[in-house]
Amino acid sequence: MGLNEETIKSLAQKAIDMRNFSYSPYSHFRVGAALLAKNGEVYGGCNIENSAYGPSNCAERTAIFKAVSEGVTDFEAIAIAGGPEEGIRDFCAPCGVCRQVMIEFCRPEEFMIILAKSSEEYKVYTLAELLPLSFSAKDIQ
């Protein structure tokens, strides 16, 4: 399964826009995410920090948890854009915890991860490429 260029650019821009909602007073590193469900709905997420650090949540998990809390668990792609407050300098890949959450809900060979610097400059990977030899529900059955 593949995404068309228009969809990729739209998700990338939504992820960039979601950076505006980031609550990042400690790291000053703003991350936005746009999660595309198989039903066509797009769920936005941003990073939300906490002074105790541990309770902080990444943009990717915010988007996934928002969708799951509304009964949606079948996803096609996620776009991620992150960087310091003054702007995006490089591609921002999901952390290990976010990758592990993705493997819970997504098919690794099909789920696409879009790393965006802009709606015109991005890289696309499968979850399998970013999380080889993953541990999932199939491993504990």
Residue 106 confidence (pLDDT): 96
> Using CA atoms, how far apart are residues 91 and 80, in angstroms rounded to an integer?
8
Instruction: Give the start-end residues of each E strand in 1-141.
Output: 29-37, 42-46, 75-84, 112-116, 122-126
Q: Which of 5, 41, 60, 70 is catalytic?
A: 60
Residue 109 annotated among the catalytic residues of the structure? no
* C-alpha radius of gyration, the chain, whole number: 14
> Using CA atoms, how far apart are residues 2 and 14, in angstroms rounded to an integer?
19
Q: Helix H segments across 19-133?
A: 59-69, 96-105, 127-130
Residue 13 confidence (pLDDT): 98
| pLDDT tens digits in sequence order for the chain, 141 residues long | 469 999 999 999 999 999 999 999 999 999 999 999 999 999 999 999 999 999 999 999 999 999 999 999 999 999 999 999 999 999 999 999 999 999 999 999 999 999 999 999 999 999 999 999 999 999 998
Residue 25 confidence (pLDDT): 98
Residue 132 confidence (pLDDT): 95
> Using CA atoms, how far apart are residues 60 and 45, in angstroms rounded to an integer?
6
Residue 1 confidence (pLDDT): 47
Residue 88 confidence (pLDDT): 97
Residue 121 confidence (pLDDT): 98
> Using CA atoms, how far apart are residues 81 and 30, in angstroms rounded to an integer?
8
Residue 39: partners with Cβ closer than 8 Å, 6 or more residues away: 72, 74
